[in-house]
Structure 1
Amino acid sequence: MAATGQEEDDIDHYDVLCLPSGEEGAALTIEQIEKAYRTQSRLRHPDKRPDDPNATADFQSLSNSYKFLRDESLRRQFDARLRARREAAARAAAAGVKRRKAVSDLEERESAFAAGQPLDPSEAAKREDKRKAADVKRELDEFFKAKQASASGAASTSAYGDKKRATAQDGVKTDKSKILKVSWDGSPDSYTAAKLKELFQKFGEVEDVVIKTRKSRCRGSAIVVMGTKEAAQSAIHNHIIYNDSLVPLTVAPVQESGGFPARPTQTHESKSSNIDGTGFSDLEASVFRKLQEAQKRKQCG
């Protein structure tokens, strides 16, 4: 009787007859299968193995597999099942290779980071750009919240006070082309909102000044909203006035696209301020400069 059920799922009938399996087994003729059976019958008959307690069961398995492969319908189904197993195994192997490669790449990057080795310049630049864009967006969100709170009557940090900002409500939208980012080295208390307003009024109307609260004790920053775009442009291009101050200022615009503020060209007077004009920390500016240098080296190479 042909093997069925669980036996069909677990037994390779070609292997039982010591025949090649897979596609090669599926191509065998009935004559080749019969020849293999006769050969194995002579070798594995229980009479030839009187001392083997498993001889009878083995010979029965041989007979069952032979009968199974002689049935063309059962054999076609069996060949299809073996083919499906091989394809599934190949897919699993390919997935395993991809998974191992992904893990290997991740471990390699982590090892490089732990060892202090730099990332690929292009990848590092992308990560740094995303981080800086997120910082600028967060700062602008804070500013607009303060503006909205002020418009609705809530307490905010405005032209004549450094109070904590209240929760923002739906309020006024400000043209970003009128917004300036201002930063300076030294104590954050070197400038108050009133002092900055007085200084920037030389270029036109000042709508608002927001002193940003920072943990750093050696650097300060603020956001100044001019009355017009022209006044903002005038304030950006008059570096000499800021550098004549006891504590030099660096002023930069906030781009409409939501990206990074433009890096102003430093004059001879502004070099002494040691500020890049973006409002980011010295460490961030240093990383940004290094990424630029790496990108230039890559282009030259």
Structure 2
Amino acid sequence: MAATGQDGDDVDHYEVLRLPSGAEGAALTVEQIEKAYRTQSRLRHPDKRPDDPNATADFQTLAGSYKLLRDESLRRQFDARLRGRREAAARAAATGVRRRKAVSDLEERERAFAAGGGPYVDPDELARREDKRKAADIDRELKELKARKNSRISGSASTSAHGDKKGGTRENGVKTDKGNYLKVSWEGGADYYTAAKLEDIFKQFGKVEDIVIRTKKSRNRGSAIVVMASKEEAKTALKNHSVYNVFPVPLMVTPVEESGGSPAFATPPSEPPSTINIDGTGFVDMEASVFRKLQELQKRKQCG
């Protein structure tokens, strides 16, 4: 640091003698200060710098700093002033950091307002709002899932008890035109085949639109409705009886009644529709999606 005056507040006399400053400088002995002065005086004497117009003034500053640091009383006063200057500089720097942060926060609020057309919102508040929105979405999806499943159960029970929606009844056996519907049944355990297992079997014949599993009180026999995407795909599935006999529990596949008689899923009088449980592949993806969202929301709450 260049000296601008012997007693100026911006002069660091340790630096003038090329010595460490601050706490390290205050710990120097008089002998170390004298040694530094002798070294610098040889290097910076005006006779050594005849072409430097500032050589004389620099040498006078060197001598003045040496004189002050040799005096223990003056040196203690200077050390105190130096500490005060450095503490003030540190406080000013901290204030500058706080001021810059305040300005930055203000600019961020202004940008958020300009971009979103509204006031600045704290990021934590935004996260809480997002969690609340997701929870509301999940609640709505759960209600929709329940409503759809209740509707499917009600509709299937009605069809079983009263015949096809096209006008058929259990008594008159009116012909149905749903040629893409297949009746699937099996012996030896009603729970052996799930909707997923049946879908894997029948998708080799074409696209499977839906599967409805019906489980009665009797656990020795299971049955289901498989809905193929088209009548042609249903016919292909009917032609491949050999495929269904290779399983440990063979499947019996027939078309849903198309030639009169009792409907394929007429509910016997001894078994009211309320005893039937129905599950379809159409619900599997939705249930998995809702469950996954519930898990993600719970994780966010735990992390928060």
Aligning the two structures, in what range does the TM-score lie when normalised by the shorter sequence?
0.3 to 0.5
Query: Normalization by structure 1: what TM-score?
Result: 0.38
Q: Tell me which structure has the larger Cα radius of gyration.
A: 2
Higher relative contact order (CA 8 A, sep 6+): 2
Query: Normalization by structure 2: what TM-score?
Result: 0.38
